[in-house]
Amino acid sequence: MKKITVFIFTILLTAFTQLGFTQSLQGQSSNSRPVSTTLSFLSITPDARAAGLGDVGVATSPTSNDIYWNPAKLAFNDSKIGASLSFTPWLSKLVNDMSISYLAGHYKLDDKQAVGLGVRYFNLGDITFTNTEGNITGNFVPREFAATLTYSRKLSENLGVAVSGRYIHSNVTGGITLSNQEVSKPVNTVAADIAVFYTKPIYIAGKEVKWNLGANISNIGPKVSYTDQNNRDFIPTNLRFGTAFTVDIDEHQKITWAVDFNKLMVPTPPQTDAQGNIIKGTSPRDKTLLNGMFGSFGDAPDGFSEELKEVIWSTGVEYWYRNAFAARAGYFSESADKGNRKYFSVGAGVKYTQFGLDVAYLLATDQANPLAETLRFSLTFDLSGKKKK
């Protein structure tokens, strides 16, 4: 008989990959209430360019990876056909067999419309199952993936919108049966994104600046469960909004500064006593999808001050020389009471004709953080048939 503890461990592992094994491990106090979700692999930055900018991407210049960041930008892409392939060794300070792979591509139907496809695969490494006597009964590789199809359209020369549909599969145990009863099962569900993008040249001190503004509500979908319908959890429905400013230094150089803000549209855990009884607030499992999403802006037990703590901010700077070499730096900050993920990032990119390579490196402020030293790699392809000068 397989140990139920293996099942519990793998479920927790999936959640902690997003939180970075931070204060959520220490239990809830009156001030520390991290907002948790299932299927948290959907919130992990997939590509190296955005990672080098501190996980910023909702309003930066368009790429194929915007299927994740802001699909409304796809219709503004200068490339008619493009693709990107990314790879990230995950939690490499702890294990050596976890990784995230991401494939994205877009195609412009005409000057106003574009479609995109993105596939994300999360390999959680090998898990060994044992029986109650400690004998090995088998091995399993937990895995999760999501496939996204998106449609992007310009409403004007400056404004664009997009909608996306997503199929999600998560199998973290392979199914566990105790006493001839299934106690765990894979998760299969769907979700949707709604995005908007606005771009316009403005003038600051007589200098033309390209100003972008973007917003994306991602992973709008039903609650799911690995066990039964009485224990369903929210998936990471997220509101991301931000802005970016790009200025040409001269004919060969340009620089972009961007900032993103994120807010999980998921209920805040209630305040509880030492016995786990609710003192203030409501259990997330008592809320429906829409009630949880829209109520997430005002359900924190400590009021508005706690709601502000749930807003994650990140900022980054990108420098390009001759559109051939890029240097990037960024910073990501989350409240100590909501997960305490804080880190710097650096990155670089090169382009040659129709191909590009991006690399990013994460520098955690606390080297004990398992996210420290995370590397990401991305290959980009412009398949339009036009060679860049």
**Per-residue confidence at 22, pLDDT binned at 50, 70, 90?**
very low
Residue 144 lies in a domain: yes
**Higher-pLDDT residue of 372, 177:** 372
Is the pLDDT at 147 greater than 90, yes or no? yes
**Higher-pLDDT residue of 174, 81:** 81
Residue 12 lies in a domain: no
**Per-residue confidence at 92, pLDDT binned at 50, 70, 90?**
confident
Residue 9 lies in a domain: no
Residue 57 lies in a domain: yes
The mean pLDDT of 338-359, rounded to a whole number, is 94
Is the pLDDT at 317 greater than 90, yes or no? yes
What pLDDT score does 69 carry?
A: 98
Q: Let me know: does 246 contact 258? Beta carbons within 8 Å.
A: no
What's the domain range around 208? 34-383
What pLDDT score does 182 carry?
A: 61
Residue 26 lies in a domain: no
- CB environment 97-123: b (16+ within 10 A), e (fewer): ebbbebbbbbbbeeeeebbbbbebbbb
Residue 225 lies in a domain: yes
Give the pTM: 0.89
The proportion of the chain whose per-residue pLDDT surpasses 70, expressed as a percent, equals 88
Distance CA(155)–CA(134), nearest Å, equals 62
Count up the domains in the chain and report the number.
1
- CATH number for the domain spanning 162: value is 2.40.160.40
Give the 3-state secondary structure of residue 23: helix
Residue 24 lies in a domain: no
In degrees, rounded to 5, the angle at the alpha carbon of residue 48 between the alpha carbons of residues 371 and 85 is: 120
CB half-sphere exposure, 175, CA atoms < 13 A: 5
The mean pLDDT of 156-160, rounded to a whole number, is 97
Element at 307 (helix H, strand E): helix 304-309
The mean pLDDT of 110-126, rounded to a whole number, is 95
Residue 290 lies in a domain: yes
